[in-house]
Structure 1
Amino acid sequence: MKTRIIYWVLASCILCSCHDQMQYYEVTGTDLYTPYHIKLEYNEPLDSAIEKEFHQCYHSINPFDSLSIISMINRNEDMHTDSLFRAVFNKAIEVGNKTDGMLDVTCAPFINLWGFGFKKMNNPTPEAIDSIRSFVGFHKVKIENDIVVKEDPRTLLNFSALGDGTMCDVVANLFEKKGIKNYMIEIGGEIMAKGVNPKGDCWHVGIVKPTYDSLGVHQELQQVVRLCGKKGLATSGNYRNYHEKNGVKYGHTINPKTGYPAQQDILSATIIADNCMTADAYATAFMAMGREKAKLLKKKTPGIEYFIIYADKKGKFCTEYSKGFTQYLVEK
């Protein structure tokens, strides 16, 4: 009997040893039309836990979900916000203030009007745009006692400018709680990375040349960057998500002040920050601001670094980046 007990204990130890062995896992998929690709070093892939985080996030800030907190707020239903909603809202207001309103979470009616939002109206007449301006403006909303207060009930919220970056941070927080030291989270093109890849090197990420390819089939790299430590990276550009009307391409980045797509000189803006939510927010703001204003913003915002792709007068692709971004560049 003692011998059987010893064998059982040894077998149990072997099974636990195998289960606890650390290795790199890949988790990929598409949730609500957003593709994700995650690598992590752990003793299990955490598929179910990651999916649970997705659903909790969508239930809070996804305007395409009619039962989400943000959807209920947009319908002016009495609804207490959760901690995630408040974190995203506060970040959006913070960046809105720093960018003079070029990131505006109340821009949803304009986004919908141009066919890029959760209500694809696609009827952007000058009269329609003028009729919306009066209730767009991030200063027209605030949170009091966990409840969103609007100056005008017609005001709508949309966190799409921070959404994918927020999702990256949410999954990263899950990994941090489990003590995971090495991971790379890519959701909708935005990235949160920490530690090293399976080869023991810092994570390498490509910045794609901005070509009008809505399916993302033809991708050519402009630059490769190296993410060491724990960093978030987000890229915004109008070359993937756009509409063409009467031979004119209109990008999805809307200028909140005019109500029209931002026709700036920046084709692509990549931001690196300590978290992906911040990087995502500033990448969108850079696209709406243009190069010169974006460079001035960087001087007032030490926590971000940028890499911009723009076209010169001859149509040639040119790049420009902040001094601090140099540390991330991989030489070709």
Structure 2
Amino acid sequence: MKTNLLIFLSLLLLGSCTMQPQYIETNGQLHTPYRILYQYTEPLDDEIHAELKRYYHSLNPFDSLSIISQVNRNKEVEVDTLFAEVFRKAREVSSRTDGMYDITCAPLINLWGFGFSKMDSVTPQMIDSIRSFVGYQKVRLEGRHIIKDDPRLLLNCSSMGDGCSCEVIARLLESKGIRNYMIDIGGEFATKGVNAKGQCWHLGIAKPVDDPMGVNQETEVIVQLCGRLGLATSGDYRNFYIKDGKKYAHTINPLTGYPAAQPVGSVTVIAPDCMYADAYATAFMAMGRDEARRIKEQLPDIEYMFIYMDEDGNYQTDCSAGFDRYLLK
């Protein structure tokens, strides 16, 4: 009897010492701020930071020791599994968007300069020269090696970088058995389950007011995400250039070599994977509403919302048919 009592008390003590899952918030900043909420028994700050470092080592084009930097310098290097996945997904999106998404257009971006600072010095001849070695069909993955048709070709996956970072962290959390989380990296999101109130995750989509300093917090709509989803937004309201009264987005049209000049403030894409959401948001921003509508017909798993300004200066939205179910009523 005494033995049974001791066992009972031991189990009771063990149970009282076991931490119950609670919602934990991890914040930080690398190239952009990040905020991660997840329901777990302990903070995962160190593991989250380690996963983000793994992403940087693979795909950060500004780190001379990263895999992508070595690929761009034509070094003999084997790519890791993350690089290979991102490359394959980027190529898939390029194919589905008829080349409007292209991770080889870095030389064109460099030509125009950050914020199009070199816009006045760019000539058609310079663009044509660079376009001769730009194109997603001019590079391929063979085994664990990148093969280029032209050594001048450069890769830059930054257009799906935040989405990729979200997915890397989402997989870490899921490997711990975490079923409820919200990951925000640079304004791109990966979500699963519910928030601390037991509700779907509520995310605001900013009104695309010209805001180079990034201080505007005015919300156009609020969406609710209830499953394993990714959300990404691309816009011209923080990075743009105005010349002769015409506004140019920070997005380059890889087919023409010129900055996209679509009358679009922003486009938000919801997809099962934040990498896809990030890539398609970039492509749709470059191609505009009509082409996006055509491409969407072949993509049943994604939904989009454009925010644009009409001729009277009023903001309007243009959504795919399925986007409405995500809007908070």
Tell me, yes or no, whether TM beats 0.5.
yes
Deviations 1:118-176 (A, max 9, x none): xx984651132222110000000001121000000000001011110010001000011
Tell me how far 1:247 sits from its aligned partner.
7.0
Distance 1:242 1:72 in 2: 30
Query: What is the SS of the residue equivalent to 2:265?
Result: strand
Give TM-score scaled by structure 1 length: 0.92
Residue of structure 2 in register with 1:209 after alignment: 207
Conserved? CA contact 2:164–2:275, under 8 Å: yes
Q: TM-score, normalised by structure 2?
A: 0.92
CA contact (8 A) 1:265 1:291 kept: no
**Counterpart of 2:297 in 1: which secondary structure?**
helix
Aligned to 2:24: 25
RMSD (CA atoms): 2.2
- Matches of 2:297 and 2:54 in 1, distance apart? 36
Q: C-alpha separation between the residues in 2 aligned to 1:18 and 1:304?
A: 44
Give the corresponding residue for 1:86.
84
For residues 294-323 of structure 1, the C-alpha deviation after alignment (integer angstroms, 9 at most, x for no partner) is 001111111100111112222321101111
Alignment of 1:212-291 (within 5 A): 212-243=210-241, 249-291=247-289
Where 2:47 maps in the other structure, the secondary structure is helix
Partner of 2:40 in structure 1?
Answer: 42
Q: Report the 3-state secondary structure (helix = DSSP H, G, I; strand = E; otherwise coil) of the residue aligned with 1:300.
A: coil
Rounded to whole Å, the distance in 2 between the matches of 1:244 and 1:314 is: 20
**Aligned match of 1:129:** 127
2:166 aligned partner: 168
Letter of the aligned partner of 1:155 in structure 2?
L
Note if 1:307 corresponds to 2:299: no
189-198 or 215-224: bigger deviation: 215-224
Cα deviation for residue 251 of structure 1 reads 2.2
* Cα distance in 1 for residues equivalent to 2:79 and 2:225: 34
Structure 2 residues not aligned, in runs of 5+: none
Equivalent position of 2:57 in the other structure = 59
Counterpart secondary structure, 1:172: helix
Deviation at 1:212, TM superposition (A): 1.4
Report the Cα distance in structure 2 between the residues aligned to 1:222 and 1:198, rounded to whole angstroms. 24
Aligned CA distance change for structure 1 residues 125 and 202 (closer, same or farther; 3 Å): same
Q: Name the count of aligned residue pairs.
A: 323
- Describe the superposition over 1:5-40 as per-residue Cα deviations: whole angstroms up to 9, x where unpaired: x69x84x97477445311001111111x21101100
In structure 2, C-alpha distance between the alignment counterparts of 1:18 and 1:243, rounded to whole Å: 58
1 CA distance for matches of 2:99 and 2:68?
Answer: 20
SS of match in other structure, 1:266: coil
Amino acid in the other structure paired with 2:71: I
Local SS of the residue matching 1:206: strand
Question: What's the secondary structure of 1:256's corresponding residue?
Answer: coil
Mean Cα displacement is larger for which, 257-266 or 76-85? Answer: 257-266
Aligned AA (2:32): T
In 1, the alpha carbon distance for the partners of 2:287 and 2:315 equals 19
**Post-superposition shift, 1:243?**
4.3
The residue that corresponds to 1:292 in the other structure is: 290
Unpaired segments ≥5 residues, structure 1: none
Q: Which position in structure 2 is the counterpart of 1:330?
A: 328
Q: Distance in 2 between matches of 1:17 and 1:97?
A: 55
Deviations 1:170-191 (A, max 9, x none): 1000011110010000001000
Offset at residue 244 of structure 1 (A)? 5.3
What pairs up with 1:64-75 in 2 under 5 angstroms? 64-75=62-73
